[in-house]
Structure 1
Amino acid sequence: MFRTALRNVFAHKARLLMTVLAVMLGVAFVSGSLVFTNTLSDALQNSSAKGFAHVDVAVRASYQDAEGDKVGTVPELTQAVLDDSARVPGAESALGVVGGFTAIADRDGKLIGDGFSTLGGNYWGTEDPRYPLVAGKAPRGEGEILIDSRTAEHSGYTVGDTVRLSVNGPVLTPRIAGVFTTDDGTVAAGGSLALFDTPTAQKLFGKPGTFDEIDVKAKPGVSEAALKKQLDEALPKGLVETTTGGELASVQAEMIAASMSGMKQGLLVFAGIALFVGTFIIANTFTMLVAQRTKELALMRAVGASRRQVTRSVLIEAFAVGAVAAVTGLAAGVGIGALLRSLMNAMGATMPDGPLVVTWQTVAAALAVGILITMLAAWLPGRRAAKIPPVAAMSSVHAAATAKSLVVRNVLGALFTGAGIAVVLAATTMDGSDGQAPMALGAVLLIIGVFILTPLLSRPLIAAAGPVLRVFGVAGKLARQNAVRNPRRTAATASALMIGLTLITGMTVMASSLQTSIDKMASAAIKADYVVSMANGNDLSPDVGEKLRTAEGVTATSPLRNAASRIDERTEYLTGVNGSVFGELTDLAVADGAFRIGGTDVIVDEDTAKEHDWRAGSSFTAAYGDGEKQRLTVAGVYEGNDMLRGIMVDNATLAPHVSEPSDMLVLVKTAAGTSDAARDGLREALGTNPAIKIQTKKDISEEIAQIFTLLLNMLYGLLAMAVIVAVLGVINTLAMSVFERSQEIGMLRAVGLDRRGVKRMVRLESLVISLFGGVLGIGLGVFFGWAAGELMGTAIPTYELVLPWDRMALFLLLAAVVGILAALWPARRAARLNMLEAIKAE
C-alpha cells in the first residue's frame, strides 16, 4: 500500500501541483511571520540591552498614591538624592538622567521622525559614557546641542550648523556642537535624539534641579545586587525605588516581546485564514483524485485490502504532498521574513541591525502546519472512498451522494447558520468588549453553517444567472449545467473565495462607517476654525496659547488645560477652558441646565454626572493639587464625546492652583476662517514651529482617515494571500473538471462545438462559480460589518452604518476577474483536446 501511494503521488504530479502551491503559500506566510517578528524582536532586545550596559542600578521616584483629598504625586529626584547615590561604598559613579519630546526640523523646516520618536535628553558633563562623540565637543548652555549620527546623516546637518527645534512650543535655534553615536532603540528605528547640557535639559523639560532617573555604576567586583542593597539603605524609604540593570533589561525584553506578540498574532491570523482557505483546495483535490481512482480502489479492496489500508494510502499521499509543501514553504517563509525587514527599512521604519533569526520552533511549526493541514483535509475523502462497497465502485465511476447524507448535511448547515446568526445578533445588544467574544464565536458558526449549506445554495443562485448565460448560446447553457453538476465541488471552490471577500468586505464596511462617525463627531463638537496641538500629542507650553491669543486676525482662543483633583475621594481631572468664549468654539449639546462656565460654575459630561449622581444645580468640593479646596456648582450637563468630555472649569478659577500649567490643545477662531492665509498667519505667529500641528476639522478627519486607509491597505495585502489561494482552487477545480469530462468534451467537438465554444464554456463556468463565491462573501461581509458596527455604536454615539457601494462593486468585479484569469489555462487545455482520443478515453 505504501508503494502504491507513492506511485499515485508521482502519477498525478501536475494535478497535485496546485495543492502543493496552496499549502506552500500558507506555510510560507506562517514561517515568514515568525521569522520576521523573531528577527525584529531579537534586534530590538539586543539594542535595548546595549542601552543598559552603563547602568548597574537605576534609581527612580516611587509614585505616592492619592489618599483622601490629596492628589497622587511623584517625589522629585533632587541633586541631594544624586549625591547620596554617588556616595554609597559600592558606587563608582552616579549619573542623572532627564529627557522628553524634542522636535528637530530638517533643512526644509519639516519635522524629522513621526513626532513620537523625536526625543531629547541630557549629556552628562564633558563626557558621557552612554553617547560616544564622533565629532565636535560637549554642549554648553542653551545655544548648543548634540545630535545623533543617524539624524546627521539623513538630514545633512554637520557640526556648526544651526537647527530649529522645539520641546513644548517655543522655537529654539541652537548650534550643533557635536555628533554622537547611540544604541538607543528609538534612534535605531528611525527616530532622532538631541542632547543638551544637564541644566539646560532640566529647564527645557520642566524639571529644574531634578532628574527623571539616576543611573549608578558599580565599582569593579561589586555585584548589582550588592549595590542595590546599599542604595536601598542609603536613600529615603518609600520615596524611591531601585532596579538593577539586569532587571531593567529583562523588563524591556518582556515589553518588546509583548509588543511583538500582537504583531505576530495578527500576521498568524491571516496565515491561518490562508491555510483555512487552502483546506478547501486540498479536500477538493483529494476528493477528485479519489473519485478518478474509484475502480482502482475497488479492485484493491477485492484482492484483500482493508478499509483502513485504503484510507492509509490516501493519507500517505497527503503526507508526501504536505512534506514537500512544508519544506518549500519554510524556505519561502525565510525569504518573506528577509523581504519584510527590507521593506520596513525602505519605508523609513529603520530596524536595528541584526541577523535573520530562524528558530527551531519556526521550523517545527512550518513542518507541522504543512503536513497536518494536508493530512486532515485529505482524511475525509480517503475515509469516504474506503466506505464504498467494491462491487458498487467497480460498476460506477462516480458514486452520487445519498439522499440521507444530503438531508443530514442541510440540517446540520441550517443549525450552524441559525446558531451563528442568533449569537451574532445577541452580541450586538451587549456593551463594548463584553460582546467581542460572542460575536467572534457567532461569526465562526455562521461561516461554517454557510459553507455546509453552499451546495444547497449553489443551485438557485447559479440558476439566477441562467438568463444572462443564455446570451452565450450553447456554451452558456453548458457552463450553467457544469457548475451545478457537482454541487459539493462547486461549493468548496466558491467557499475559498467567499472567506477572503467576507473579511475584506466586513472590514471595509466597518472602516467606512467609523470614518463617517469620526467626521460627524468633529463637525458636531467643534466650531473653532483651527485646533493647535503638539505633533506627538504631548502638552503645549502656555506661551503657545498666549501667542495665538494676540496673533493678528484671531478673534477667540481657548486652551484646554488638564489638572488633577480629588472629588469624592477619587481622582478626577478638571479641564480648564476660557469660559467666556468656549461656547463660540464648540458645539456641545446641553442635556440639563445651561452652558455656563465661569467663577465656580462648571459644566460636566453626562457620563461623569451619572457616576457622581450630579445634575444641574448640584455642588461638589474639588481638592486641588496644591492642597486647596473649592466648592464648585454644576451649571449644566452636556453630551460628551471622544474629543471633548469631563469637567469643564474656567481657567481663571483653575490657574491659581496649577504651578506648572500646560495645555493639551488650543482652539482658535479667526476672522478669515479656514483659509491658507489664516493658517500661514498662525504658523508665523508661532515661529514656524516643526513641533506644532495647526489643523482644521477636515485635517483632523483626514489624518484619522489616513490611519484607516493605511490599516485597510495592510489588511488587503495580507488577505490577498487568501485570494491567491482561492484562485489556485478555481484553477485546480476547472482542471480536474476538464480531465473528468474529456470524453464529453470530445463528443461536443465531434457534434460541432468549435474550440472557441469550448473555451467560452469553461470560462463561463469559472466566472459563475467565482461570482457565486463573491456574492456570498460580500453578503456575509456586509452582515458582519453591520453587526460589528452595532457593537461599536455603544461606545461611539455618532456611529452609523455606511455601505461603500463603489468598493463592494469593485470586490464583485474582482471576483469576476479571478474567475476569468483562473480559467485561462484549463480553457486552453480543454480546447486543445484531441476529439478522437477524448471520445475513446474512459
Structure 2
Amino acid sequence: MLRLTLAQMRRSLGRLVAAGVAILLGSAFVTATLTAGDVITRGGYDAMTATYGDADLVVLPTDGRLSTLLDATRGTPGVTAAEPLVVGWVSFASGRRTVGETVIPVPADPSLASLDVVEGRAPAAQDEVALPAASAERLGVGVGDTVRSTWTVWSEEPATTATPEPAEEPTEEPAEEPAAAGPVRSDDELAPQEMTADVTVVGLVDDPHAAWARYGGAGLAVLDSVVRWSGGTDIDDVGSAAVLVAVDGDSAAVRSALAQVLDDAEVLTRDEAAARAVESYGGGNVIVMVVLGFAAVAMLVAALVIANTFQVIVAQRTRMLALLRCVGARRRQLRGSVLLEAGILGVVSGVAGVVVGLALAQAALSVLSRTQNGVPLPTTVQPTLGNMLIPVLVATAVTVGAALVPARAATRVSPVAALRPAEAPTVQARPGRVRLASSLLLTVGGLVALAGGIVLARQGFGVDVMLPLAIGVLGGGTSFVGLLVGAPLWVPRIVSAVGRPVAAISTSARLAAANTLRNPRRTSATSTALVIGVTLVVMMSTGAVSAQASLAREMDERGPVDMTVFGMPGEAVGDGLAEGIAAVDGVDTVVPARYALVARPDGIETEAVVLDPADAGILRDEVAARALAEGRSVVPRSWAGDVTSVEVSVRDTALLEVRPSATDRALLTTQAADALAVDDVPSVLLVRIEPGADAMGVLQDVRDVVADDTVRVESAAAERQGDQRVIDVMLAIVIGLLGVAVVIALIGVANTLSLSVIERRRESATLRAVGLSRRGLRWMLATEGMLIAGVGALIGTALGLLYGWAGAATVFGTIGDVRLSVPWAHVGIVLLVALLAGLAASALPARAAARTPPVAALGVD
C-alpha cells in the first residue's frame, strides 16, 4: 500500500500541491502568530518595565528603612548587585538658559541601567552629571562644560529668598512607575530654601526604550547627588519606587532567599513586575490575553481552512477508492493509504510552513525595528521548540483529521454504491436531521458561552483573569464550527436568494445561478472557504480597531489632563507663565487650578486638583468631565473601589459625592474644595495639547518657557504617546497577520473553485455540445465564482463583525465600557478582494475547460 500511496500522490500531484499550499500557509500563519506573540509579550513587558533596566528581580519596599533593606539585599547569597531606584528633580542653568531635569542614580551594575551613555562617560563624583542630549542642546553645552544646579531643601528656619520645591509625586503605587523623590512635608512646619552648586557635564545619555518619557527624559548622577538634589540627607529621606537586583545563577533560589530575609518588602521577577504594571490598565494582563486570543483563533481558523480544502480533494477520489475496493483492496488498507498520504502531506507542508512563517516574522520584525523608534523590539526572531513543533503537529493532525471522514465514508459503502454520485444533504433525510441538530447544538451552545465570557469580563468575575477569555474563545470557536457544520443546509439557500436577481442578467448568469443549487455540498464547501478567511480578517480588523479605541479611552481616563505644571504650593502661578505656555506651538488651552494634598480614607495623602465645571473641557476623559458638571468629584478607584461617596480631609473633613476612575490624581469640584478648606490660590496650570501635536516636543518647549521658575512639568500626553507607539507596533503585527490570513482565504477559495471546475469538465463539455459558446461557458463559471465568493464574503463580514465585537468586549471588558467600531475601509476592501478572488479563481480552469474539445472533455474521469 505504501507504493500505491506514493503512486497516487504522484498521479494527483497537481491537486496535492494546491492542498499543500493551503496547509503550508496555515502552518506559516500559526508560526508567525506564535512568534509575533512572543515579540508582543516581550516588547510590551519591556516597555512596561523599561525603568528597571535588565534587573533579574525587583524588590518593592512595603515598610521599613530603605538603607536596611539595601544592606539585607546585598548580603543575600547570589545577589551580585542591588541598587535603589531613586528619582530626583533639579534645575540646570547655563548662561540665561535653564532646564528642569529628572535625575536617577548611576547603577553600579550596567545591567540595571535604563539609560545609555552615548557620549562621554557616566558621573563618578557629586559634582558631575550626564544630561539627555536634548537638554544639553537646549542649554547649549557639551561634554566638559559646567552648568549650575539649583534645588530646594526644607528648613525649620524661615527662608528669606527661598524658592519652593515642586510638589512631590505620589508613591502609593510604585510597581507602575517610579515616583519623583522627596519627602512629604507640611508647609506649616518647614520652609523651602534654594541651594545652588556648579556641576560638570561628563556625558550625554539616551533613553532607548522611552522609560522616562513622562518626565521628558532623565539624566544621570551619583546616588549622593540625587539624594541631595531631592532635599534629603540620606536615602531614607527620599522616596523609592523599587530596588533593582542582579543575580548570579538561579534567580528563583535567590528570590526565595530574599523573601525569607526581607519581611517588609515584596520580591518580584521582572515579568511579574511587568504584569503588575500591565494590570493597572484594568486588572488583567491585556497583552498576554490579546496574544493568546490571536493564537487560539489562528489555530482554529487555519485548521478549518486546511480541513475544508483537503476534504474536497479526498471527496473527489471516492470513485477511485471504490474501484480499488472492486479489485480486492480491503477497507483498512484504503483507509490507511488515505491517512498515510495525508500524514506525509501534512508533515512536509507543515515543516515548509514553519520556515515560511519564521521568514515572514523576521521580515516584519526587520521593518518594524527600523520604523518604530523607541519601542523595544528584538532584531531577530528567536524561535522556540514549541513555536516550531506546534505548527507541524497542528498541520499534520488537521490534514489527517480532514482525510479521516471522507476515507471512512468511502470505505463503509459498497463499491457499487460508491460509484454513484452522492446525494446532497437535506433536512428530511436522516443524515440531514443529524447535521441540523448538531449545527444548532454547537451554534446555540457556543453563542451562550461567548455571551457568558463577555458578562464575566464586564463583571470582573473569575477564578483567574484568563477565565473570561478562555470561555469566550471556546464559545466563539464552538459556535463557528456549528455554523460550518450546517453550512450545506443554509449556505446554498442564501446563494440562491442572492442569485435570483443575478439570473435575470443573461443566459450564462441564469446557468450560473442554477449551478449553485445543483450540488449544495460543493457550493457550501466553496463558499465556506471564503467565509472562514473573511470572518478572520474582519474579526481581527474589528477587534483591533475596537481595542485601539478602548485603550485610548483607558489612557485618557488614567491621564485626563494632557500636561500639568506644578508651581509653589500655596502661591499663585504668575499670569506671565500661563501666557507663555499658551503661546507654545501645539498648546490648545491653559487653565489655572487649585492644588491640595487630600487625605484618603486610609490616611495616605494623594494629590488633588480643583477644577471648575466650566473648565471641564480641559479634560480628555468625557466621563470625568460630566461627573464634574454634575457636582461629583473624581477620585482614584484604588481609594475604595466603586463607591458613590467617600470621606476625605484637607484642612477640614467632608463627605464627598464621587465617581471612581482609573486616574492617579483626584479631581475635586469647587464645592468640594470649599468644603475641605483648600487654599483659594491657583498653584497649578492644566494644559490641553492640540490634536495631532507632538506631545514630547510640546513638553520640551513648555519646559523651556518655565525654565526660570522652579516648577515641575508632568505630561500624561507624552506618556500616552509613548504607550501609543507600543500599541501601534502591536497593531502593525496584527495587520501583518491579516495579510497572511487574506492569502490563506484566497488560496482556500481558489482551491475549491478550481477543483469544482475541474470536477465538472464533463458537464461543461455537455453544455458546449448543446450550443453554449466558449465565451458563454467562461462567463458562466466566472459568474458562479463571483456569486459564491460574494455571498461568502457577506456572510464572513457579518460573522467577523459579531466575533470581533465579542472578542474586544471579552479582552477589554475588564477596563470598562468597550467602544465597538466598524473598520469600514477594511470591510470594503475585503468585499472587493473577495469578488476579484472568485473571478480569478475560476478564470484559469474556466479557460482550460472552454479550450478543451467537448469530445475530449467527455472522456475525462
CA 1:427–1:825 in 2, change beyond 3 Å: closer, same or farther? Answer: same
Matched, 1:557 2:589: no
Q: Which amino acid aligns with 2:668?
A: M
Pairing 1:24-39 to 2, within 5 Å after superposition: 24-34=24-34
Inter-partner Cα distance in structure 2 for 1:298 and 1:582: 81
Inter-partner Cα distance in structure 2 for 1:633 and 1:52: 39
The alpha-carbon deviation at position 772 of structure 1 amounts to 1.5
Inter-partner Cα distance in structure 2 for 1:533 and 1:124: 30
The residue that corresponds to 2:182 in the other structure is none
Q: Identity percentage over the alignment?
A: 26
Q: Which amino acid aligns with 2:515?
A: N
Pairing 1:668-817 to 2, within 5 Å after superposition: 668=687, 686-687=703-704, 714-784=733-803, 808-817=827-836
Pairing 1:250-289 to 2, within 5 Å after superposition: 251-252=269-270, 266=290, 269-270=293-294, 273-289=297-313
Does 378-387 or 760-769 show the bigger shift? 760-769
Inter-partner Cα distance in structure 2 for 1:217 and 1:375: 49
Matched, 1:446 2:479: yes
The alpha-carbon deviation at position 718 of structure 1 amounts to 1.7
Given the alignment, which residue of 107, 122, 128 partners 2:105? 122
The residue that corresponds to 2:129 in the other structure is 145
Inter-partner Cα distance in structure 1 for 2:344 and 2:721: 52
Q: Which amino acid aligns with 2:486?
A: L
Given the alignment, which residue of 603, 609, 620 partners 1:577? 609
Matched, 1:77 2:79: no
CA 1:433–1:482 in 2, change beyond 3 Å: closer, same or farther? Answer: farther
The residue that corresponds to 2:184 in the other structure is none
Q: Which amino acid aligns with 2:431?
A: S
8 Å Cα contact 1:294/1:398 also seen in 2: no
Inter-partner Cα distance in structure 1 for 2:854 and 2:404: 36
Inter-partner Cα distance in structure 1 for 2:729 and 2:47: 28
The residue that corresponds to 2:441 in the other structure is 415
CA RMSD of aligned residues (A): 6.4
The residue that corresponds to 1:69 in the other structure is none
The alpha-carbon deviation at position 737 of structure 1 amounts to 1.5
CA 1:472–1:82 in 2, change beyond 3 Å: closer, same or farther? Answer: closer
The alpha-carbon deviation at position 299 of structure 1 amounts to 3.0
The alpha-carbon deviation at position 655 of structure 1 amounts to 9.7
Deviations, residues 742-794 of structure 1 (Å, cap 9, x unaligned): 12222333444333323222222221121111121222234445656888998
The alpha-carbon deviation at position 445 of structure 1 amounts to 3.3
The alpha-carbon deviation at position 380 of structure 1 amounts to 0.9
8 Å Cα contact 1:562/1:576 also seen in 2: yes
Pairing 1:379-394 to 2, within 5 Å after superposition: 379-394=404-419
Unaligned runs of 5+ in 1: 65-74, 112-117
Given the alignment, which residue of 490, 498, 503 partners 2:531? 498
8 Å Cα contact 1:142/1:174 also seen in 2: no
Pairing 1:40-189 to 2, within 5 Å after superposition: 62-64=61-63, 75-77=64-66, 98-99=86-87, 120-123=103-106, 136=120, 139=123, 145-146=129-130, 159=143, 177-179=201-203
Inter-partner Cα distance in structure 1 for 2:308 and 2:492: 19
8 Å Cα contact 2:508/2:779 also seen in 1: yes
8 Å Cα contact 1:762/1:823 also seen in 2: yes
CA 1:742–1:429 in 2, change beyond 3 Å: closer, same or farther? Answer: same
The alpha-carbon deviation at position 838 of structure 1 amounts to 0.9
| TM superposition score normalised by structure 1 | 0.70
Inter-partner Cα distance in structure 1 for 2:830 and 2:147: 49
Given the alignment, which residue of 332, 335, 345 partners 1:321? 345
Inter-partner Cα distance in structure 1 for 2:243 and 2:664: 38
Matched, 1:819 2:838: yes
Inter-partner Cα distance in structure 2 for 1:318 and 1:227: 49
The alpha-carbon deviation at position 262 of structure 1 amounts to 7.6
Deviations, residues 659-709 of structure 1 (Å, cap 9, x unaligned): xx999x953599xx9999xx999986642589968899xx99999999887
Inter-partner Cα distance in structure 1 for 2:800 and 2:438: 22
The residue that corresponds to 1:480 in the other structure is 513
The residue that corresponds to 1:14 in the other structure is 14
Deviations, residues 559-606 of structure 1 (Å, cap 9, x unaligned): 6766552x2xx4777552336x35543687999999679xxxx78799
Pairing 1:584-733 to 2, within 5 Å after superposition: 584-585=615-616, 614=645, 620=647, 622=648, 630-634=652-656, 637=657, 648=668, 666-668=685-687, 686-687=703-704, 714-733=733-752
Q: How many residues align?
A: 765
8 Å Cα contact 2:790/2:831 also seen in 1: yes
The alpha-carbon deviation at position 322 of structure 1 amounts to 0.6
Secondary structure of the corresponding residue to residue 823 of structure 1: helix
8 Å Cα contact 2:40/2:730 also seen in 1: no
8 Å Cα contact 2:19/2:310 also seen in 1: no
Pairing 1:177-576 to 2, within 5 Å after superposition: 177-179=201-203, 194-203=219-228, 209-210=234-235, 212=240, 251-252=269-270, 266=290, 269-270=293-294, 273-347=297-371, 348=373, 357-394=382-419, 396-398=420-422, 400-401=424-425, 403-424=429-450, 431-434=458-461, 439-506=472-539, 531-533=561-563, 546=573, 550-552=577-579, 556-558=591-593, 563=598, 565=600, 567=601, 570=602, 576=608
Inter-partner Cα distance in structure 1 for 2:46 and 2:552: 43
Secondary structure of the corresponding residue to residue 704 of structure 2: coil
8 Å Cα contact 2:310/2:403 also seen in 1: yes
Inter-partner Cα distance in structure 1 for 2:607 and 2:505: 70
CA 1:358–1:390 in 2, change beyond 3 Å: closer, same or farther? Answer: same
Deviations, residues 711-737 of structure 1 (Å, cap 9, x unaligned): 655434323322321211111112211
Inter-partner Cα distance in structure 2 for 1:294 and 1:254: 55
CA 1:55–1:613 in 2, change beyond 3 Å: closer, same or farther? Answer: closer
Inter-partner Cα distance in structure 2 for 1:123 and 1:43: 24
The alpha-carbon deviation at position 365 of structure 1 amounts to 2.3
Secondary structure of the corresponding residue to residue 593 of structure 2: strand
Unaligned runs of 5+ in 2: 152-165, 169-195, 279-284, 462-467, 583-588
